[in-house]
A and B are shown apart, each in its own frame.
Chain A
Amino acid sequence: MAFSTDLRIAFRNLGRNPKRTALGVGAIFLAQVAVLWFMSFIHGYENLVFEAVTGPMLGHAQIHAEQYRKKHELWNSINQASHLMTHLEKNPAINQVVPRAYAPVLAALQENGETALITGLDWDKEIHAQGLLEDFLPKDLPGSGEVLLGANLAQVMGVKPGDTLALIGQSADGAPAGGLFKVKGTVSTALDSVNRKGILMSLPALQKFLGMPDGVHEIMLRVKTPAELPSLIAALRHDPDLRGLEILSWQTLQPQLATLLKTFAQENRFILVLIFITAAAGIANTMLMAGFERTHEFGVLLALGCRPRRLITTLIYESLALGLSGVLLGTLAGAGLVAWEFSHGLTFGGLKDFAMMGIRLKALHPFLLPSDIIRSVLCVAITALLASWWPAERVVKLNPLEAMRS
């Protein structure tokens, strides 16, 4: 009975001063929106950089012949790659198995040549999300005797679609290798290195050029759950079919990028803590002011015989009602804002080709996890409770006469 009465009184108190109540709810609302938005931005940014880093070329892990990464010798390839890929695709932890072969060449339209790197690709695996050619339509892919040229390389060489390019390099056994290829089109990928020096060819065509049938230099793996990558790599290293091959995670392949991501995460956590503190300070300030400005009112209530404990209970209910109203509205608005941004994406101030370490970043899509909402609601509720505790504790020590004079 006392509970429902106290609660009713608390709500009446809130309704008696709508401006103060609106101010309190508004402060909590804004703090909750800010916290949720920043959390979603952090998730989106980290995910964006992670996807960019591990996206088109690096993957989550790679398999090479031992020593290949050190010297990039053409002959040092993974043989019988088809069999190995079929075997890997059966692994339930692996989402995608992507083969690649590479060949440095001299590319020339006329007499003068430019250095370039041919990448042999399995087209079917590259035109999907996270592939090197994810924006490509099957009809735009090169056919037999055709290649795609990095947009910047094509510009430097003055090459247009339809031109015939001479490619001179070495076959896997060291003998000179050469071929004439028609340029199907130019390509602007997420990777600067491909745009500047890349020639994209079908994997079978490059295998023929290099004289290494069914050989590849790299098998890139994408896993279903990145958190399970260490256990997958450990298991693959004991797989007899992969004996003599090097299996490395993206963190080992690109330690500087892994460090960069870790630094980003630490910086973001620090900023998030600052935002939490700022939001909590705003809420606490509102609640404290709401309590202190009512000293006279508390004095009258005490003089009329109201017990301090009941006043405290009412104050706490008020705070919780304020806090939960604000946080509920803030959560609805924040989640709505994040949902809108998730569907539309943020494009770094409209910069079309914003790149980081040679990798072009796509639009940022902020998102929230259920734990984010639980954490922020708890944080606001605890802050509101603590902020109401101080004026409540003061009520206990209040002299009714002095309070009424204030």
Chain B
Amino acid sequence: MRAFFTLAVLLSLGMPSAAATEPDLSALARRLDDLYRSDTCIARLELIAQNGPQSRHLQIKSWSRGREKALLLIEAPAREAGNATLKIGNNLWNYLPNIARTIRIPPSMMLASWMGTDITNDDLVKESSYAGDFVLTLEGRAAEPKGWIVLCTAKPGVVGRWQKIRLWVDDSAQLPLRMEYFDRRGRRARTQTFDSVREFSGRRVPTHMVFKNEDEEGRVTEIRYLDLQYGARVPESTFSLSRLEKK
């Protein structure tokens, strides 16, 4: 669900400027990190997980407060409706309504798939910071997609899944266009593309993201934001285990 939070960062990006001046990378990293920490947000999204011959369509509603707290509730299909995931800091709990049980995800399952998608539990709780964890360097102009290429390299000593992320941003360095994730062995493991820019709560953001797993042919996850409400009222009590079971 790193994608989900990445999207939250992107949602708070400001309006792009028309000039293709060389981007200020420190400002870009800070902006990404700051925007990632939006105070409150309620989102409704559609998730399509393609895994070989199988395809799953989920509709999800989410509530979040900053980077620390989030609640994800599957609303459709009916068979999966009511399944929920609660994140508080680095902890995750899953709730399954058919057995009415909430179970904390142990560290050993952090790299397991979240709800059968290409997103891992680890992606949900990771708190990577572009300014804190990566060194950004400008690689140059990109022809396709048109914009700038920025290389984000993990700082020495930073423990994380990605060694580097190659980031394509638009001319104004406001909207991401594409990201290539390289794992600790230097192999490209995931490619993420962004499109369908829309405006929510006065912010223009890409609402459609496609995650392609480069390790496994035919494994693709799509996320499409249907609605985003920044600054929506999200009570603190939303993020409790008892509320999780009442959702």
Q: A interface vs B, CB < 8 Å? A: 71, 73, 75-76, 104, 106, 108, 111-115, 166, 168, 170, 173-176, 178-180
Contacts and interface: CB of A to CB of B under 8 A. Distances in A.
A108 B98 CA distance: 15
Interface of B: 49, 51-54, 56, 79-80, 83, 93-94, 96, 98-99, 101-106, 108-109, 112-113, 115-117, 216, 241
B98 A111 contact: no
Contacts of B117: 174
Contacts of B51: 73, 75, 174
A170 B241 CA distance: 22
A62 to B, nearest CB: 21
A114 B109 CA distance: 9
A210 B149 CA distance: 44
The 3 closest A-B pairs by CB, nearest first: A174-B116, A178-B96, A166-B101
B116 A166 contact: no
A336 B20 CA distance: 95
Contacts of B115: 174-176
8 contacts: A113-B106, A168-B99, A168-B103, A170-B113, A174-B116, A175-B56, A176-B80, A176-B96
Contacts of B94: 106, 168, 176
B52 A75 contact: yes
Given A75-B52, A176-B83, A112 B104 contact: yes
A179 B103 CA distance: 12
A166 B54 contact: no
B49 A174 contact: yes
Given A173-B54, A174-B51, 14 more contacts: A106-B103, A106-B106, A108-B103, A111-B93, A112-B103, A112-B106, A113-B106, A115-B106, A115-B108, A173-B56, A173-B116, A175-B56, A175-B115, A176-B83
A350 B240 CA distance: 54
A61 B62 CA distance: 48
Contact of B216 (A71, A173, A179, A180): A71
Contacts of A166: 99, 101, 103
A179 B108 CA distance: 21
B96 A168 contact: yes
Contact of A178 (B52, B98, B116, B216): B98
B56 A174 contact: yes
Contact of B103 (A113, A170, A174): A113
A180 B100 CA distance: 10
Contacts of A112: 103-104, 106
B81 to A, nearest CB: 11
A82 to B, nearest CB: 22
Contact of A175 (B52, B80, B241): B80
A71 B105 CA distance: 22
A115 B79 CA distance: 24
Contacts of A73: 51-52
Nearest to B83: A176
B101 A180 contact: yes
